[in-house]
Amino acid sequence: MRVGRPVVLVLAVLLLLPGVPAWAAPPVWESRVVQTSAGELVPGLRNSAGAPGEVYQFLTRVTAPNGQVATAFDIVNGSAWTSRAYPSAFEGAPALIPGTYLVEFVVNESVVRREQVTVGLTPFAPACAGDEQLSFSPPAPAVNQPFTILATSARPASDVALAGPGSPQFLGSSPGGRGILWAFRTTVGQPGQATYSFSVAGSVCVSGTVLIGGAGGTPPPNAAWQFDYPAVVRRSEQNSFELRLRNQNGLAGQQTMLQVSVAAPNGAAYTAPLLVNGDQWAPVRYPFNFPQAPPLQAGTYRFEWRFANGMPLAADQLRVVP
């Protein structure tokens, strides 16, 4: 393992969040999978023993009846539920087909909960057109920055609602998008992933997730970043590698949201969010924490850390050998 030399960034804004408690209680995982009348599955996970500010990264893995697997990366915060809709919020996931789906929740490379749900032959309820989509503006808002959520469909509807963090307020509807647009406005006060569900006449039609950055997406002042990762990984000995970083000058309760991008030898890139707490090491493991990332293969992997606003922090590469 090698430790990179500190990189000092001096800016004028300090991100101070409420103090993070010392987490003494082990996590108690609860899961659920709701089949909506819109023809989607909504897997959810929470830590019922979670304290405010306690954060866990996890992977939701859905195996379709035909054996096709799709994954999505999420963060559990405190004791709140974290959910996202399948297949709309799982990159590359196919449309639902009749049969039994296996849903697995993975924390630290271990499956902590499993659920099974059987999908029937009727995928859509009359309330939903089946073509609904969500979009966010800006696409990666900062903490406490108001942002707009747009829902669109070809079918007009009047009894619409949007559920999610910040209690979104309905702004109205107008022509646009697939035919008609419904606009909502909200603000989120903590970094992480925020999931929203758009419904018509009480039926959830589509869900989407947006990444909320920290302190306007900028790094904390006087940050001294330290990096840790292997130079060479032997595929015969390991099936993954870990990238870590920390802010040596981080304060208790201080949080910074980053994104880590890894480019595989074939050039395909995969991205995962990463939350840095205080001066603690923040790890992310490839490919397990990167949605849709394939197993390790021999070659050179290039990786980069960026802040939530896209500002680059550091980049390097490692080699995977047989």
* CA distances, 1 to each of 10, 54, 280 (Å): 28, 28, 18
Q: Residue 17 corresponds to which tokens in the numbers above?
A: 């969040």
Q: Do domains 29-119 and 133-212 have the same CATH topology?
A: yes
Q: Domain residue spans in the chain?
A: 29-119, 133-212, 218-321
Q: Which residue's entry shows tokens 């992933």?
A: 193
Per-residue pLDDT of the chain (322 residues; tens, 9 = 90+): 555 444 444 333 333 333 334 455 789 999 988 876 556 888 999 998 888 878 889 999 999 888 889 999 888 888 888 888 898 888 778 888 888 899 999 999 899 999 998 887 544 445 788 888 888 888 777 778 899 999 998 888 878 999 999 989 999 888 888 888 899 999 988 777 788 999 988 888 888 888 776 544 566 767 889 999 999 999 999 999 999 999 998 887 777 888 899 999 998 999 888 888 889 999 999 999 888 889 999 999 999 998 877 778 889 999 999 9
Q: Which helix (H) or strand (E) holds 226?
A: strand 223-229
pTM (2 d.p.)? 0.41
> Could you tell me the CA-to-CA distances from 111 to 107, 118, 250, 309 in Å, in that order?
6, 20, 31, 32
Residues paired with residue 263 on neighbouring β-strands, in sequence order:
269, 302
- Name the CATH superfamily, with its identifier, for domain 133-212: Immunoglobulins (2.60.40.10)
What b-and-e string marks burial along 149-160, b requiring 16 or more CB atoms within 10 Å of the CB? bbbbbeeebeeb
Answer for the pair 274, 282: CB distance below 8 angstroms, yes or no: yes
Distance CA 311, CA 313 (A): 7
Return the pLDDT at 141: 79
Question: What pLDDT is recorded for position 39?
Answer: 67
- Give the 3-state secondary structure of residue 225: strand
* Domain 29-119 classification at class level: mainly beta
CATH fold of the domain at 218-321: Immunoglobulin-like (2.60.40)
- What is the β-pairing status of strands 232-234 and 312-321? parallel
Mind spelling out the 3-state secondary structure of 18-68? CCCCCCCCCCCEEEEEEECCCCCEEEEEEECCCCCCCEEEEEEEEECCCCC
| H or E element, residue 82 | strand 82-83
Q: Do the Cβ atoms of 264 and 270 come closer than 8 Å?
A: yes
